Amino acid sequence: MTNDTDRIFVAEHHRMVGAAIVRQLVRLGHPKDLILTRHLHELDLRDRAAVQAFFEREQPAQVYLSAVLEREHQDGSRTAQLLQEQLSIQTSVLEAAFAAGVRQLLLVVGSHSYPVNALQPMAEEDLAGGPFDASHLASAVAGSTGVALCSSYNHQYAQSHGVDYRCVVACQIYGLQDDYRPGQRRLVPRLIRRFHEAKIEQQPVVQLHEHPDALHELLFADDLAEACVYLRELPRHTFMEAAPLGHCHINVGPGKDIRLDALARSVAQAVGYRGEIHFVAPSSQPPRRRLLDTHRLRSLSWEPLMGLEYGLEISCADHELHHVRQAANPTSQVHPS
C-alpha cells in the first residue's frame, strides 16, 4: 500500500485510462506533485535506455501501466509493428521498475488477452488456454505476455525482493479523453463520431455495417481507474486469495453486456441524433462474445458505479468539446499518439 510520501508513476497519462487513474489518485488525496507523468516527447516507453534512466532518476514507489489496453484500437493492418511496440513497452517498464526497486506495479490489459474460444463468461483461470483472436492479435499476445511477465516476477522475486506486481484484465473501455479520430476500431468512440457527423449533416438515415446482435461489455474509464487503484491498494494476502492460485490477475467489468443495436440507439440518443438507424450486417460471422467473469472482483466488494446511459452522455459531451477544439485548430492533437 502507498502513503502520502510515495512517488507514483502513471504511464501514458494523456490517454484515456492513464488520465482516469491520475484523477482517481488525486480524488483519493494523493499529492499531485508526487504523481509522475511524462508525455511521449519526454519519455518514449519503447526506449529501454530512456526508461531505465527515468526510473533510476525518479525512483517511483508504484507504477500503473495501461499501454496495451490503450493501443488495442489501432489499425489492424500494422499487427507486427504494434505487437513489437507493445511488447517493447511492457518489457522496458517492467525491467526498469524491477531494477529500480519498485515493488508495487499494476498492469492493465484487455479482454482479448483471453483465448478466442474461451468459455463465456471468461474466468481468470482460462487466460492461457488456447488460440488468440486473429483480428486483435497484437493486444492479445502482448496482454497475455504482460500478465505472464508480472506473474514470473512475483514467483521469482516476491520473497527475496518483496515484488508484488498485479494485473487487471478489462473489458471494452470508453469515457473522457477517448480517441475519436477517424479510422479507429474501438466501438463507442466510433459510434459517437458517426452519429455526431450525421446530426451535424442532418442525415435522415445512418447505416452501420455491423452485426446488430453482437454483444459488447462496456465500462466507463473512471470506473476502471477506481478498480485499478482499489485492487492495487488491497493488502497482498487479500488480493492473492481472490486471484487464481499462482496468478496475479483479476477481471474488471460490469459482468453484463449489451446488444449492438441497443447500444447504437443509446449513443444516438446521447448525441442528439433523431434519424433512423439501419444495420447492414457483414457477410462474416458476428464477433465472438467477450464477457468477463467478475465474481472474484465482486467477492472483494467492488462494483462499477457509472450507468451506461449517463456514461455515454458524459462521453458525448467530451467528444463535442474535442470536436469544437479540433475544428477551431485543425493542426492540434487532442489525443497524442
Considering the domain architecture, whether residues 81 and 157 belong to the same structural domain is answered as yes
Residue among 173, 167, 131, 132 nearest 148 (CA)? 167
204: cell is 435522415
Give the mean pLDDT of 121-149.
91
Q: What is the pLDDT of residues 225-279, one digit of tens each?
A: 999 999 999 999 999 999 998 899 999 999 999 999 999 999 999 999 999 999 9
| pLDDT for residue 326 | 63
Range of the domain at 91: 8-171+217-252
In a domain? residue 316: yes
Considering the domain architecture, whether residues 140 and 245 belong to the same structural domain is answered as yes
| pLDDT for residue 281 | 85
Q: What is the pLDDT of residues 267-326, one digit of tens each?
A: 999 999 999 999 998 888 888 899 999 999 999 999 999 999 999 999 999 999 876 566
Considering the domain architecture, whether residues 16 and 158 belong to the same structural domain is answered as yes
pTM for the predicted model, two decimal places: 0.94
In a domain? residue 300: no
DSSP H or E segment with residue 10: strand 8-10
Q: What per-residue string of b and e applies to 60-87 under the rule 16 or more CB within 10 Å gives b?
A: bbbbbbbbbbbbbbbeeeebeebbebbb
pLDDT at 54 over 60: yes
Considering the domain architecture, whether residues 37 and 131 belong to the same structural domain is answered as yes
CATH number at residue 77: 3.40.50.720
In a domain? residue 69: yes
Distance between CA 160 and CA 227 in Å, rounded? 28
| pLDDT for residue 255 | 96
In a domain? residue 296: no
* C-alpha dihedral sign at 3, 43, 56, 63: positive
In a domain? residue 1: no
Considering the domain architecture, whether residues 156 and 261 belong to the same structural domain is answered as no
Considering the domain architecture, whether residues 162 and 281 belong to the same structural domain is answered as no
| pLDDT for residue 76 | 58
pLDDT at 39 over 50: yes
| pLDDT for residue 336 | 47
Instruction: Provide CB contacts within 8 A for 62, sequence distance 6+.
Output: 2, 6, 7, 8, 9, 102, 104, 105, 106, 232
- CA separation, residue 157 to residues 59, 92, 98, 124, 251 (Å): 19, 18, 9, 23, 24
For residue 328, what pLDDT band results from cuts at 50, 70 and 90? low
Cβ pair 232, 279 in contact under 8 A: no
Distance between CA 7 and CA 334 in Å, rounded? 27
Distance between CA 261 and CA 275 in Å, rounded? 14
Structural domain total, the chain = 2
Considering the domain architecture, whether residues 38 and 138 belong to the same structural domain is answered as yes
In a domain? residue 297: no
Give the mean pLDDT of 39-43.
93
Considering the domain architecture, whether residues 126 and 207 belong to the same structural domain is answered as no
Distance between CA 243 and CA 245 in Å, rounded? 6
CATH number at residue 202: 3.90.25.10
In a domain? residue 205: yes
For the chain, the average pLDDT equals 92
**Comparison of pLDDT for 124 and 128, the residue scoring more:** 124
Distance between CA 59 and CA 57 in Å, rounded? 6
Distance between CA 62 and CA 257 in Å, rounded? 33
pLDDT at 337 over 50: no
pLDDT at 5 over 90: no
Considering the domain architecture, whether residues 239 and 315 belong to the same structural domain is answered as no
In a domain? residue 165: yes
